[in-house]
Structure 1
Amino acid sequence: MGNVTQSPLGQAAHDLSLWGLFLQADWVVKGVMIALLLASVWVWAIVFEKVTTLRRIRRDGDAFEDRFWSGGSLEELYAREGENPTNPVAAVFGAGMREWKRSAGRGLGSDLAVTGMKERVERAMMVASSREMERLERWMVFLATIGSASPFIGLFGTVWGIMNSFSAIAGMQNTNLAVVAPGIAEALFATAIGLVAAIPATIAYNKFASDFGRYAARLEAFAAEFSAILSRQSEAAADAPRPRTPATVAE
């Protein structure tokens, strides 16, 4: 029984499978590995949610813009989709129409009133666009943090594990490669897990940042076009005895 000595670099340390490396690691290294694995799972959950959301808002946005530019009644479109929007484009449209209706209700009998209405409508749509983008970009900071911090967290686990390995080596007074390798492998495993979490997070962050930037530009373009339509309607309403609501896009 004297030949079966249990130690950090003993017989059990020679299990170089991934599960074996995890079980034989120091508790600090195990904590690092578990934290990084949980972060990796969270990253992939965010990726799935963002991909699904982007597909949905693009599809719904395209369908809404088709209805918007079809020449139908804006009042009917607002009543049907603007008051309870299901996509960011409809939300921007609803904010603009809501502010236009409030301004039109107070009267647009002068150029000053028309100018004030235009500014308020543009501001309302800008706020709506910002809120929608803020909602879409939720968890983006988490992706950026994991992408930048995970390698260093894994490196911390590696350094801690190597320190323990060399302490055990010094205690055993044995520098044989067969003795050193298992402990070093356990430590380096933490760095590998850190990269497993960091690489997808970095790629996903860059991809989604580009996609959201393009979508924000789409909302800004729609808001500018809709503001121009409402401005034309307001100028026409200012010359009429009573304010009227916009009837169609083409009018």
Structure 2
Amino acid sequence: MNANLSLTHLILQASALAQVVLFLLVVASVVSWAVILSRRAQQSRTFKAAGSFEEQFWSGGNLADLYERLRRGGEQAGMPAIFVAGYEEFVRQQTTGKADPDDVLAAVQRQMRVTQTREVEKLEGGLALLATIGSTSPYVGLFGTVWGIMSAFISIGNVKQASLATVAPGIAEALIATAMGLFAAIPAVIAYNFLTRGVEKLDSRFQVFADELTGIIERGLRGGKH
């Protein structure tokens, strides 16, 4: 390969604006991969914690004992956090002496809904950035492409006889910008869709659990056991 057409040489010899475009795209790619890996790891932990918690919850044990175990385990996240928030509100309502089951249930549901929203917002952290990178990187790359093609035409105009050696650097610079734009955008778009589906599944799972816990507490308030 001609040394003057090597990737490193083309980048180093590119115009300042083209180098800025390539730098921005590299940074966007690095940031998107950091977000992808961290969000994916967080979702995996949340799914695992939800599965483990559901096994304990439906094992038939006492909810007060489960609450104590979770409280001793430190700060909770995901489904355990929703349970802790709901159970603590239930106990608080009981200690205040409120007798109306509807008021107690409304307070418990409100507290679980707030906690669920907070947990979902944590899971959604960084997804907006992925969407932004996925949607804008191709256009940033396109800007670099247009600039490279303009440079190629300017090179042709500055010489009496055009040749491949004259236009090749500008065209190559344009193609590199296009490739970098796609390199940054494609993983971000795929990961955004994948992670968004994961958040939706967890949110639905949280809601089903909150409804189940509400039903258990309601039965306890109306004469059953909780």
Q: TM-score, normalising length from structure 2?
A: 0.93
Counterpart in the other structure of 2:129: 142
| 8 Å Cα contact 2:152-2:168 kept in structure 1 | no
Amino acid at match of 1:146: I
**So what's the TM-score if we normalise by structure 1?**
0.84
Tell me the secondary structure at the aligned position of residue 236 of structure 1. coil
Aligned partner of 1:3 in structure 2 is: none
Provide, for residues 104-159 of structure 1, a one-character-per-residue CA deviation record: whole Å limited to 9, x for no partner.
112243xxx21011111111111101100101110000100111100000111111
Q: State the AA in 2 paired with 1:199.
A: I
- Alignment gaps of 5+ in structure 1: 1-12, 238-245
Q: How does 1:26-105 map to 2 (within 5 A)?
A: 26-82=15-71, 84-105=74-95
1:174 and 1:141 map into 2 onto residues whose CA distance is 50
Quote how far apart the aligned CAs of 1:161 are: 2.1
1:77 partner letter: L
The match for 1:24 is 13
Larger radius of gyration: 1
Structure 1 runs, 4 residues or longer, greater than 4 Å off = none
SS at match of 2:80: helix
The structure whose residues are more often helix, as a share, is 2
Structure 1 match to 2:146: 159
Cα offset, 1:99, TM superposition: 1.0
Amino acid in the other structure paired with 1:63: S
* Cα shift readout 1:187-240 (whole Å, capped 9, x = no counterpart): 221111000000000000011111110110000000000011011111228xxx
Give the alignment's Cα RMSD to 1 decimal: 1.7
2:177 is matched with 190
Contact 1:24 / 1:186 at 8 angstroms: preserved in 2?
no
Please say if residues 85 and 94 of structure 1, whose CA atoms lie closer than 8 Å, have aligned partners that are also in contact: no
Percent of aligned positions with the same letter in both sequences?
A: 42
Range that drifts further, 176-185 or 194-203: 176-185
In the alignment, is the contact (CA less than 8 A) between 1:37 and 1:193 conserved in 2? yes
Q: How far has the Cα of 1:88 moved from its partner? A: 0.4
**What secondary structure sits across from 1:48 in the alignment?**
helix
Label 1:219 to 1:85 Cα distance change in 2 as closer, same or farther (>3 A): farther
Say if 1:85 and 1:224 are closer, same or farther in 2 by CA, change over 3 A. farther
Deviation at 1:185, TM superposition (A): 0.7
1:14, CA displacement in angstroms?
A: 6.3
- Could you tell me which residue of structure 2 aligns to residue 171 of structure 1? 158
Amino acid at match of 1:107: G
